[in-house]
């Protein structure tokens, strides 16, 4: 099945949205995940230049079958970012009408941020699976950065959004953030079996990915051994 897995990590400002100063500054990753045999794929967190992302799929002879959303912030799904209007979900759906898979706890936030309709969204619970062809993508609810943040586990890869970076984790001081929930989500991810490779939502480190075992060893967010220690350092 690993031979069938189609997986691409694309950096905003370099691999797509070239010349966009906000994209280059924010350093978001988008991901393309699919089944090479069926040609179906989903895009994770489309923002900035949806035509570029669709073009990347077309160049690989893949077709869009859906969208996976890690969380609702405009640099991941489009919307107003400090007065700047970022393209994202709404523009993508105007070109390709596909289901948008969101955590149940994040759906209303996504709808308010992007202006997409309720009928565009498919609400999911923790540990649901989205199938793309024969490729199963496991949806993991990891609140903390936002109430409905989610990560995606597929083929030994953990697409971690803004829950876990290779160095650090997502902020919890934005609306809907919860430092205690972030601690619990990080501890749960730390115990995932199989040592998946972590693919974060931003390039905030020299390397774009690393095995979870390495991230656990070097990332300071895993140093607290109790919620009390976490609150003292990060709360």
Q: Which CATH fold topology does 5-234 show?
A: Metallo-beta-lactamase; Chain A (3.60.15)
Q: Which residues, listed in sequence order, are joined to residue 11 by a DSSP beta bridge? A: 29
Distances, alpha carbon 45 to alpha carbons 3, 31, 82, 106, 124, in Å: 24, 7, 19, 14, 16
> What is the Cα–Cα distance from 212 to 196, expressed in whole angstroms?
6
> What is the Cα–Cα distance from 44 to 29, expressed in whole angstroms?
9
Q: How confident is the model at residue 1, as a pLDDT?
A: 60
**Sheet with 129-132, side-by-side order of all strands:** 129-132, 135-141, 150-154, 157-161, 197-200, 210-211
- The residues near 185 (Cβ < 8 Å, ≥ 6 apart) are 142, 143, 144, 149, 163
Q: How far is CA 9 from the centre of its chain?
A: 11
> What is the Cα–Cα distance from 35 to 132, expressed in whole angstroms?
6
Dihedral angle computed from the Cα positions of residues 208, 211, 215 and 216, in that order, rounded to the nearest 10 degrees: 170
Q: How confident is the model at residue 177, as a pLDDT?
A: 96
Question: What is residue 169's DSSP assignment?
Answer: B
So where are the chain's domains? 5-234
Q: Which residues of 44-63 are buried (b: 16+ CB within 10 A; e: fewer)?
A: bbbbbbbebbbebbeeeebe
> What is the Cα–Cα distance from 197 to 88, expressed in whole angstroms?
26
Question: Token digits for 58?
Answer: 């077309």
> What is the Cα–Cα distance from 148 to 170, expressed in whole angstroms?
13
Q: How confident is the model at residue 84, as a pLDDT?
A: 84
Mean pLDDT for back-to-back runs of 10 residues, the chain (235 residues): 90 97 96 98 97 98 98 96 90 97 97 96 98 98 98 97 98 95 97 97 98 98 95 84
pTM above 0.75, yes or no: yes
């Amino acid at each position: 099945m690993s031979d069938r897995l189609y997986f691409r990590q694309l950096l905003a400002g370099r691999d797509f949205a070239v010349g966009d100063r906000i994209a280059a500054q924010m350093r978001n990753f988008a991901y393309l995940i699919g089944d090479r045999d069926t040609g179906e794929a989903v895009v994770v967190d489309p923002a900035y230049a949806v035509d570029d992302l669709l073009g990347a799929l077309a160049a690989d002879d893949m077709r869009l079958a859906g969208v996976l959303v890690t969380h609702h912030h405009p640099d991941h799904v489009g919307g107003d970012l400090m007065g700047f209007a970022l393209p994202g979900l709404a523009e993508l759906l105007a070109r390709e009408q596909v289901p948008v898979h969101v955590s149940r706890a994040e759906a209303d936030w996504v709808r308010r941020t992007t202006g997409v309709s309720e009928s565009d969204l498919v609400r999911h619970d923790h540990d649901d699976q989205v199938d793309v062809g024969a490729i199963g993508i496991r949806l993991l609810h990891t609140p903390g950065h936002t109430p409905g943040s989610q990560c995606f586990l597929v083929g030994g890869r953990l697409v971690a959004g803004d829950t876990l970076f290779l160095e650090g984790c997502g902020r919890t001081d934005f609306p809907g953030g919860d430092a205690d929930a972030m601690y619990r989500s990080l501890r749960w991810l730390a115990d995932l079996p199989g040592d998946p490779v972590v693919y974060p939502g931003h390039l905030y480190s020299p390397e774009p990915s690393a095995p979870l075992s390495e991230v656990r060893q070097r990332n300071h967010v895993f140093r607290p051994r109790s919620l009390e220690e976490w609150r003292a350092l990060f709360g």
